[in-house]
Amino acid sequence: MNFWKRDTTGIAGARSYTAKPGTWRPDPANPSPQLRGNAGAAPVVLTHLRSLCAEMVEQDFLAKDPARKLRRPKTRKPDATVLGWAQYQSIIDAAETLRDQLIIKVACATAVRPGELAAFRWQSFEQFPTGRFVLRVSETVYKGKVRGWAKTESSEGYVPLPDRLAAELQQWRQVSQWPADEDFIFPNCQGGALCYENFSKRVLALIAIKLGLPKLTFQVLRRSYATRAVAGQKGSLKDVQAQLRHSRPDTTLQN
């Protein structure tokens, strides 16, 4: 049964079984709770289960394929909150500090992932020979720790900045307590990496309450950028995909 352990490694809700041949059965009436709440994982896991069960039948571990009765579990409707252009300025104005305002501006203007935003250092803030300012994505923050790589290989690269925002970042560096190249652009109160989960709870969530918004997270900011860019034809789908650094265009459309 080693192939079963190997092929299910990393699949949400999957377990390793060492049952004797012919004894394992998936339970169609009791799908994994992880799958019920994850519309993206459910079809992937079912595909793996059906493939594995077919292989188990082929190798005589099972007499019949139990996966034929499996059905995709009911999942929560994915959040589809999208901000209007007019709401962006209200959100920025509602932030209480210059640092918080700039974090929101960078998130809105670049659509970087929160882990990437938290990992930006001043040495990530670069200027091309053409005069254009960019932020270089090369690190990410995950569970409070800085990792020396981006989420995926396609995520690494440069994110262009509007000229006005680049000027504001330069001004921010002049007043920041941590202006060295290796310092974080948006550090926590001790100069370390920002915990973006705390920022989302302590800043974005309070702004949402203040403005009466149904939801405000980094994902909402990122999704709003993608939706407005595609709907407003701000470049081609491939351009928006490149800005979001998605590996596939369909991910951009779903975002």
- Within this chain, do residues 243 and 155 fall inside the same structural domain, yes or no? yes
Q: Name every residue whose Cβ is closer than 8 Å to that of residue 199 and which is 6 or more positions away in sequence.
A: 100, 103, 114
- Within this chain, do residues 54 and 148 fall inside the same structural domain, yes or no? no
- Within this chain, do residues 54 and 25 fall inside the same structural domain, yes or no? yes
- Give the per-residue pLDDT at 70: 78
Q: Name every residue whose Cβ is closer than 8 Å to that of residue 232 and which is 6 or more positions away in sequence.
A: none
- 208 lies in some domain: yes
- 80 lies in some domain: no
Tell me, what CATH number does 114's domain have? Answer: 1.10.443.10
Segments of the chain scoring below 70 in pLDDT: 1-42, 73-80, 154, 226-255
Range of the domain at 139: 85-254
- Give the per-residue pLDDT at 97: 96
- Distance between CA atoms of residues 185 and 136, nearest Å: 12
Question: What's the domain count of the chain?
Answer: 2
Query: Which residues are paired to 145 by β-bridges?
Result: 142
CA distances from 94 to 42, 52, 63, 176, 226 (A): 38, 52, 63, 21, 23
Q: pTM (2 decimals)?
A: 0.63
Strand residues in 149-228 grouped as ranges (E):
157-160
- Within this chain, do residues 121 and 185 fall inside the same structural domain, yes or no? yes
- Give the per-residue pLDDT at 223: 84
- 76 lies in some domain: no
- Within this chain, do residues 221 and 153 fall inside the same structural domain, yes or no? yes
- Distance between CA atoms of residues 219 and 226, nearest Å: 11
- Within this chain, do residues 191 and 129 fall inside the same structural domain, yes or no? yes
